[in-house]
Amino acid sequence: METTLRGVGVSHGVAIGEVRHMGTAVLEPPAKQIPEEEAEREQGRARQAVEAVAADLIARGNLAGGEAQHVLEAQAMMAQDPELIADVDRRIAVGSTAERGIYDAFAAYRALLANAGEYLAGRVADLDDVRNRIVARLLGVPMPGVPDSDEPYVLIARDLAPADTALLDPTLVLGFVTEEGGPTSHSAILARALGVPAVVALPGAGEIAEGTVVAVDGSTGEIFVEPSDEKRAEMESAAAARKAALSASTGPGATSDGHKVPLLANVGGPADVPAAVAAGAEGVGLFRTEFLFLDDSKQAPTEAKQIAAYRAVLEAFPEGRVVVRVLDAGADKPLDFLTPADEPNPALGVRGLRSLLDHPDVLRTQLTALSKAVEGLPVYLEVMAPMVADRADAKAFADACREAGLQAKFGAMVEIPSAALRARSILQEVEFLSLGTNDLAQYTFAADRQVGAVSRLQDPWQPALLDLVALSADAARAEGKSCGVCGEAAADPLLACVLTGLGVTSLSMGAASIPYVRATLAKYTLAQCERAASAARATDSADEARVAAQAVLSGE
H-helix or E-strand containing 6? strand 3-6
Whether residue 10 contacts residue 192, with contact meaning beta carbons closer than 8 Å, is answered with yes
The least confident of 391-405, 418-432, 486-500 is 486-500
Radius of gyration of the chain (CA): 24
Catalytic: which of 70, 359, 401, 486? 486
Catalytic: which of 12, 70, 186, 359? 186
Q: Is a pLDDT exceeding 50 seen at residue 9?
A: yes
Report the Cα 122 to chain-centroid distance in Å.
12
Exposed e or buried b for every residue in 51-64, given b needs 16+ CB within 10 A? eebbebbbebbeeb
Q: Is a pLDDT exceeding 70 seen at residue 236?
A: yes
Query: What percentage of residues in the chain have a pLDDT greater than 90?
Result: 56
Average pLDDT over residues 225-238: 91
Q: What is the pLDDT of residue 451?
A: 65
Neighbours of 120 (CB within 10 A): 22
What secondary structure does DSSP assign to 441-506, as a single string?
A: HHHHHT--TT-GGGHHHH-TT-HHHHHHHHHHHHHHHHHT-EEEE-SGGGG-HHHHHHHHHHT--E
What secondary structure does DSSP assign to 328-342, as a single string?
A: --BTTB--TTTS-S-
Whether residue 361 contacts residue 385, with contact meaning beta carbons closer than 8 Å, is answered with no
Q: What is the pLDDT of residue 144?
A: 66
pTM: 0.70
**Residue 455 and residue 477: Cα distance in Å, rounded?**
31
Q: Is a pLDDT exceeding 60 seen at residue 279?
A: yes
With cut-offs at 50, 70 and 90, classify the pLDDT of residue 405: very high
Kindly tell me the number of DSSP H helices and DSSP E strands found in the chain: 24, 16
Query: What percentage of residues in the chain have a pLDDT greater than 70?
Result: 91
Quick check: helix, strand or coil at residue 40? helix
HEC readout, 361-395 = HHHHHHHHHHHHHCCCCCCEEEEEECCCCCHHHHH
Quick check: helix, strand or coil at residue 227? coil
Q: What is the pLDDT of residue 186?
A: 67
Q: Is a pLDDT exceeding 90 seen at residue 62?
A: no
Q: What is the pLDDT of residue 118?
A: 43
Q: What is the pLDDT of residue 82?
A: 87
- Between 339 and 416, the higher pLDDT residue: 416
Q: Where are the beta strands (DSSP E) in 95-226?
A: 153-157, 173-178, 198-200, 213-217, 222-225
Q: What is the pLDDT of residue 80?
A: 87
Q: What is the pLDDT of residue 350?
A: 85
Mean pLDDT over the full length of the chain? 88
Average pLDDT over residues 128-153: 81
With cut-offs at 50, 70 and 90, classify the pLDDT of residue 452: low
With cut-offs at 50, 70 and 90, classify the pLDDT of residue 425: very high
Whether residue 13 contacts residue 175, with contact meaning beta carbons closer than 8 Å, is answered with yes
Edge-to-edge strands, sheet with 198-200: 3-6, 222-225, 213-217, 14-21, 153-157, 173-178, 198-200, 8-11
Average pLDDT over residues 320-325: 96
Nearest of 167, 157, 193 to residue 57 by alpha carbon? 167
Neighbours of 515 (CB within 10 A): 23
Average pLDDT over residues 437-464: 84
Q: What is the pLDDT of residue 276?
A: 92
Q: What is the pLDDT of residue 117?
A: 46
**Residue 401 and residue 378: Cα distance in Å, rounded?**
20
Whether residue 494 contacts residue 515, with contact meaning beta carbons closer than 8 Å, is answered with no
Report the Cα 177 to chain-centroid distance in Å.
17
* Upper half-sphere CA count for residue 254 (Cβ side, 13 Å): 9
Whether residue 7 contacts residue 200, with contact meaning beta carbons closer than 8 Å, is answered with yes
Instruction: Please report, as a single letter, which amino acid is at residue 247.
Output: S
Q: Is a pLDDT exceeding 70 seen at residue 56?
A: yes
Q: What is the pLDDT of residue 119?
A: 44
The least confident of 29-38, 140-149, 293-302, 443-452 is 140-149
Torsion angle of the four alpha carbons 421, 424, 427, 428, in this order, in degrees rounded to the nearest 10: -130
**Residue 145 and residue 215: Cα distance in Å, rounded?**
22
**Residue 475 and residue 32: Cα distance in Å, rounded?**
64
Q: What is the DSSP letter of 255?
A: -
> How far, CA to CA in Å, does 384 sit from each of 6, 147, 193, 490?
37, 43, 24, 18
Provide the β-strand partners of residue 11: 198
Quick check: helix, strand or coil at residue 250? coil
Helices 39-64, 66-79: inter-axial angle, 10-degree rounding: 170
> How far, CA to CA in Å, does 131 sit from each of 76, 78, 100, 310, 471?
11, 10, 11, 35, 45
> How far, CA to CA in Å, does 220 sit from each of 49, 197, 397, 544?
42, 11, 40, 14
Q: What is the pLDDT of residue 333?
A: 60
With cut-offs at 50, 70 and 90, classify the pLDDT of residue 387: very high
Q: Is a pLDDT exceeding 80 seen at residue 107?
A: yes
Q: What is the pLDDT of residue 483?
A: 98
Exposed e or buried b for every residue in 325-355, given b needs 16+ CB within 10 A? bbbbbbbbbbbeebbeeebeebbebbbbbbb
**Residue 356 and residue 371: Cα distance in Å, rounded?**
17
| Whether 21 is catalytic | no
Nearest of 167, 216, 161, 155 to residue 21 by alpha carbon? 155
What are residue 274's phi and psi, to 5 degrees?
-55, -40
| Whether 359 is catalytic | no
Q: What is the pLDDT of residue 338?
A: 75
**Residue 9 and residue 221: Cα distance in Å, rounded?**
4
Q: Is a pLDDT exceeding 60 seen at residue 121?
A: no
**Residue 489 and residue 244: Cα distance in Å, rounded?**
24
Exposed e or buried b for every residue in 158-182, given b needs 16+ CB within 10 A? bbbbbbbbbbbeeebbbbbbbbbbb
